[in-house]
Amino acid sequence: MKVQKKFLTSSGGGELRPLTMHQVAQVVGLHESTVSRAISNKYIDTPRGLLPLKYFFTTAIETADGGEVSSRQVKHLVRELVGKEDPKKPLSDEVLVNLIRARGMKIARRTIAKYRKELGILPSHLRKQF
């Protein structure tokens, strides 16, 4: 919870920081699978609602300045960009990559395609409305 303090104490401004079970396992001196079992089916009441502990574990996406943002933050950005797109000219994965890179995040087109699928967002040619 120390790593995610800003997320937990803010009512909407803080973002999740990248954190893996492997990192926690190293800090507490346990095996990664032990950490996974320990947090399985456990929840925490936060200012943002009741969340599973697994919610706080997310991979990192490198930024242009050498920092990191969570993959969950990038997924949120993809959902936001697609939500604001012109239905007659939907954004392709390549355009999404360029928009996200312009915000200082290093990401591949394949990663955007993967995140789009995980979010249940169709490819641009299937989102197009005539």
For residue 107, which of 118, 120, 94 has the smallest C-alpha distance? Answer: 94
Q: How many CB atoms lie within 10 A of CB 70?
A: 21
- The pLDDT tens digits for 14-29 are 678 888 899 999 999 9
- Res 28: pLDDT: 94
User: Which residue spans of the chain are classified as CATH 1.10.10.60?
Assistant: 60-127
For 81, phi then psi, to 5°, come to -65, -45
pTM of structure: 0.76
- The pLDDT tens digits for 28-61 are 999 999 999 999 999 998 887 898 999 888 888 8
Indicate the class that CATH gives domain 60-127: mainly alpha
Percent of the chain with pLDDT over 70: 96
Asked whether the beta carbons of 113 and 93 are under 8 A apart, the reply is yes
Tracing tokens 């933050």 back to the chain, one arrives at 73
Helix (H, G, I), strand (E, B) or coil at 104: coil
Percent helix / strand / coil, the chain, rounded to 5? 50, 15, 35
